[in-house]
Chain A
Amino acid sequence: MARRRILVTGATDGIGLALVRRLASRHDVVATGRRDIAAAQRLLPEGVLYIKADQSRPVEAAKAVGRGLLEIGWRELDFAVLNAGTGWAGSPQDEAAKSVRETVDVNLAGTVALAHIMFSFLRPASGQLTLIGSVARSGSSQFATYAASKAGLYGLSRALGQEWRGKVRVQLLDPGPTMTDMHEKAGLKTGWTRQWFIRPDDMAAMIEAAIRAGTTPKTLSFLQYVSGASIFGRTIR
């Protein structure tokens, strides 16, 4: 079993953090996030390298990740998991310009910028680019801009999958509701429904299995959970 070189963005919270904690002992992992290095290192497992990259400034963030990888001597990546995301919840006619821009920057422009920079790292290793979408990408009246940004990731994955065929595999994964802080941060009270959400650890297991399988696009929600994807799913080797 080989140690793979894996990049995970948005890795200081929620699904990203759970995924890094899951992968860290078996693989070489670089994590990125908007938190300061000291705060990130308290959260991340030992041995995980951290690059501070705030995707609300998409180009700067992507370039910082590219530079950071070269500084630690990584010229190749086996997997890049672009997971960083944010959102705003409420009626679309109440959403202000500021939050629209934040969501489009972090979720769409930031991911496009990183995909652009990651190509030169993934290409030599014939690696795999995994974008974390959402089940909301088919439309959501409560998360209109968020849904739009995630739909954009589908369009990106579909086009790049064809453009990079034989060079870099491109995959989109669509997690369902997960027990992270995202809903509260977005201003949505989840209430009693929250107990039905999938735990971040389980979602991370489902994501790892889906990355290994390579299927795209792939929904990771209740149906996949009850069919045992978090327990029986395979691991990245």
Chain B
Amino acid sequence: MTAQKRALVTGGHAGLGLAFCRALTEAGYAVTALDRTAPKSAVPWTHRVCDLRDRAHVDAAVHYLTAGEPFDLVIFNAGVSATGRFEKIPLEVHQRLIAVNVEAPIVLCSELARRGALAKGGHVVFISSLSHMTGYPGAASYAAAKDAIAIYAKSIRRPFRRDLGVHVACAFPGPIRTAQAERHAPKGAKAQSRIAPEEMAQRILAALRWRRKVIVPGTRARIFALTGRLFPKLTARAMRRIVFDRLDREVW
């Protein structure tokens, strides 16, 4: 009998993170979730309250996470958004966004690796965004953060595989049907066209079994990604019309 595999999911309280926690628990993983919000009712996994905006919280999480057995799967999923005109969103909001979406996952990833908390043969997955392929006027700091995390994943892929035997992947999900997406969507955006978080989690986990390094879940997303790659300027302009021109308020 083999020991139970261990998984870590950041931002496990709601949305895609919650879907990952459920799917992995069902698949037999011992799951640890990090989130600033504590669950309202008992969950069948370990939930640790950690505010990723706060450096002291992140440092404490590093100690906590590296105290036990190494992780076979780590999903850097936690992320916040800020939509609206860049200059109208308070400076502090942009800073918090970069702390949660860029600084925290890179610090956690490099510290887990440095302290031997990533199991050989395991996986590390970063959740970037389809915006990496298309640009995202109306969420400039979010777009910046998601580009940064995508390139961090790409940069560490080879050394992690070679030196640690860890597979690094990056997922680029399009719109997901979550409360967070609902809050940030432009006026008139259709909720039906978004993928449900449970399905998104399954797709990403399935792609991991194939050891994919770039995961673009869904046909629509793939078409957008391809268009963005081939015609970056046109796509950014289209995104301006689809998203930015329809935003009537700032949301964070």
Give the B-binding residues of A (Cβ under 8 A): 58-59, 62, 91-97, 100-101, 104, 108-109, 112-113, 115-117, 119-120, 137-141, 143-145, 147-156, 158-165
B5-13, B30-38, B236-244: which lies at the interface? B236-244
Q: Which of chain B's residues have a CB closer than 8 A to the CB of A143?
A: 155
With known contacts A147-B151, A159-B138, A93–B102 Cβ distance under 8 A: no
Q: Which of B92, B145, B240: most chain A Cβ within 10 A?
A: B145
Chain B residue at smallest Cβ distance from A92 = B156
With known contacts A109-B95, A162-B137, A156–B144 Cβ distance under 8 A: yes
Q: Which of chain A's residues have a CB closer than 8 A to the CB of B150?
A: 151
Q: Which of chain A's residues have a CB closer than 8 A to the CB of B94?
A: 109, 112-113, 116
Chain B residue at smallest Cβ distance from A162 = B137
Contact of B144 among A97, A112, A120, A162 (CB under 8 A): A112
- Are B132 and A155 in contact, with the CB atoms below 8 A? yes
Q: How far is the CB of B240 from chain A (nearest CB, A)?
A: 4
Please name the 10 residue pairs, one residue from A and one from B, whose CB atoms are nearest each other, closest first.
Answer: A155-B147, A151-B151, A152-B148, A162-B137, A159-B140, A148-B152, A144-B155, A93-B113, A156-B144, A155-B144
B71-79, B83-91, B203-211, B218-226: which lies at the interface? B83-91
Measured between alpha carbons, how far is A101 from B54 in the docked complex, in Å? Answer: 12
With known contacts A119-B87, A159-B136, A162-B237, A93–B159 Cβ distance under 8 A: yes
With known contacts A95-B110, A148-B106, A158-B143, A163–B98 Cβ distance under 8 A: no
- Are A156 and B91 in contact, with the CB atoms below 8 A? no
What are 24 inter-chain pairs, A to B, with CB distance below 8 A? A92-B110, A94-B110, A104-B102, A108-B98, A112-B94, A113-B94, A115-B86, A117-B91, A120-B87, A141-B155, A144-B155, A145-B152, A148-B102, A148-B106, A149-B102, A151-B151, A152-B102, A152-B147, A153-B144, A154-B144, A155-B143, A155-B144, A159-B137, A163-B86
Give the A-binding residues of B (Cβ under 8 A): 55, 58-59, 62, 85-87, 91-92, 94-95, 98-99, 102-103, 106-107, 110-111, 113-114, 131-132, 135-141, 143-152, 154-160, 163-164, 232, 236-237, 239-240, 244
- Are B155 and A112 in contact, with the CB atoms below 8 A? no
Q: How many A-B residue pairs have CB under 8 A?
A: 170
With known contacts A141-B156, A162-B137, A152–B110 Cβ distance under 8 A: no
